[in-house]
Structure 1
Amino acid sequence: MPLRILLVEDEAELAGAIQAVLRAEQHIVDHLAEGLGAWSLIRGELATYNLAIVDWMLPGLSGPELCRRLRGAGLTLPVLMLTALADTSHRVQGLDAGADDYLIKPFAMEELLARIRALQRRQPNYRELLLRAGPYLLDPAESCLTVQEAVGSTRITLSAKELQLLAYFMEHPREIIPGARLRSQLWSLEDDPISNVVAAQVRLLRRKLASHGLPSPIETVASKGYRFEPEP
């Protein structure tokens, strides 16, 4: 499933490369270049992250100190530590500070993605890749939605943002979800905060379903948000 990831890395070139790889995997990535800002962001709960990728040497607050603050606050956010310090004592120090895994620079992006998948599988709320709600079956690996109908099924290819949006709705069926919550979870903090991206994306998703002759399971609840109703 797509994750919301906080990347805390002060090397601009490396940070850009990591963001590109993660976004190609359909993850949502927020990037900060220093530790204190990351601590304030996580503590402020502006967004709920599934994973943090944290460099060891950061201005303001080091990676290990950020981990210690997270664990001291009782936060269980998985942390993957990045560092050029390869000796055993530093690995032990990082893990003891609260990091869940450790990746030594330079590293292959394939290994980074594998470590992220491994951390995801360790989570107690890990789900199989397929999401099902009523007649709707979502396959994130294939970026497609299959809708079972009385006389057969319809398969629809989704864009990355359509996939993220529909997955979030299917994880919260029948729940009224405010637009602000959808935006905070599914869009980067770098996006324009006053833009109407949520309503626009919901319209696009409804339009795609309609183009296949299907009604939309996403209801607009006046002044409150949206609700995914899997059963007609």
Structure 2
Amino acid sequence: MAQCLRLPRETMGILIQIGFLAAAAFRVVNGQKGFVSIDCGMDAGGSITDNITGIVYQPDTQFIDTGINYEIPKSYLTPYSLPQLGTLRSFPDGVRNCYTINQVNQGEKYLIRAFFMYGNYDGQDSASIGSPLQFDLHLGVNYWRTLNITDPFSVNPVEIITVAKDDYFSVCLVKTGSGTPFISSLELRLIDSVDLYTDVNQSNSLVSAFARVNFGGGPGLIR
């Protein structure tokens, strides 16, 4: 039998406040204030627009000068695939390759989101359960996350909410001996509210453990 979770009135009030904060943050998102949206592997001079959000993604050439551009084979994409996942940048050379994002206000709070879709771009069938494709993601000198990719069709998002200690962020892909690092998309979002994610400060960041899940907010993605 399904059971309902009854919340105290005080908790409901907090949830309503969070809803208002999220709506305010969404208005900022639509205006793209404090946004950097990067389509990794896109040819220089191009751009792509997400038809749902209206967000414009730019090439990654001004943020990094290493790596090789690839396109994902069409057979691995669907009509519902995020448009910025059609290309990626791969890093066969060097142990550590870093993106530098300069449009940052020191002391401000940011969400940094990266997407990884293998799509068998190299024709090597490198991602499987028995032989996963693994590499590390660092934010500056600090370890962020290990990517463990076992399915060429899967989209692997990772997020961190952090305070900028400098006027730039350095997002680095680091080899661990289990395949070639790559990245599909990289996003920077200014969190323009002191009331959101109050646990995040100069010493503490929040890292997504699994995924964001939509409970009852309607079908489709909420961005």
Q: TM-score, normalised by structure 1?
A: 0.25
Give the structure with the higher percent helix.
1
- Greater relative contact order, per chain length (Cα 8 Å cut-off, separation 6+): 2
TM-score (norm 2): 0.26
Q: Which has the larger radius of gyration?
A: 1
